[in-house]
Amino acid sequence: MRTTRLSRSRRREDVRAWWAEHLAAQGKSGQTQAAYCRARGLDPKYFTLWKGKLRRASAASTRMVPVVVTPSPELPVSVSAVAETVPASAAVSLRLVLGNGMSLSLEIAPVALPALVSELARLRC
């Protein structure tokens, strides 16, 4: 019989996922942290430790990215003209795709589009 050893990074990911599942399950269970750990034989100290680790990791992954808006020569139509031609009840969908594959999508009311573009154009990053 052949066994496969997991790499250190894979084991670390598995442990992180295991604790994340327990943290989510405890939140859904309605039990206190102590009661949840007692019922499953978990050490409450490690539960608290992983709760902090995962919270910090989540906060670190949420960050602001500077955006530079520059005029595009191939788009001669002004934003105001676009906002005036789109019905007020419709939403304008915008999608920004970065070189690293990350993207940002949002929908905005047409009347707010000129103000958004104006604010973005004022940013200096």
pLDDT tens sequence across 55-99: 888 776 666 666 665 655 555 445 555 555 656 667 777 777 766
**Nearest residue to 96 via CA among 82, 108, 114, 81:** 108
The residues, ordered by sequence, that sit 6+ positions from 23 with a Cβ below 8 Å of its Cβ are 47, 50, 51, 54
Q: Are residues 12 and 50 in the same domain?
A: yes
Residues 69 and 77: beta-carbon distance below 8 Å: no
Q: Are residues 27 and 55 in the same domain?
A: yes
Encode pLDDT of 10-46 as tens digits: 888 899 999 999 999 999 999 999 999 999 999 999 9
Distance between CA atoms of residues 80 and 113, nearest Å: 8
Residue in the structure block whose two tokens are 């019989």: 1
pLDDT at position 46 is 94
- In the numeric block, the tokens 């943290």 are attached to 23
Number of domains present in the structure of the chain = 2
Could you tell me if 57 and 13 lie in one domain? Answer: yes
Does residue 105 belong to any structural domain of this protein? Answer: yes
Whether residue 92 is found in the same domain as residue 51: no
Same structural domain, 57 and 101: no
- pLDDT of 121 strictly over 80: no
Domain range for 110 is: 79-122
pLDDT at site 125:
54
Distance of CA 48 to the CA centre of its chain: 23
87, 54: one domain: no
What pLDDT score was predicted for residue 69? Answer: 58
Predicted confidence at residue 44, as pLDDT, reads: 94
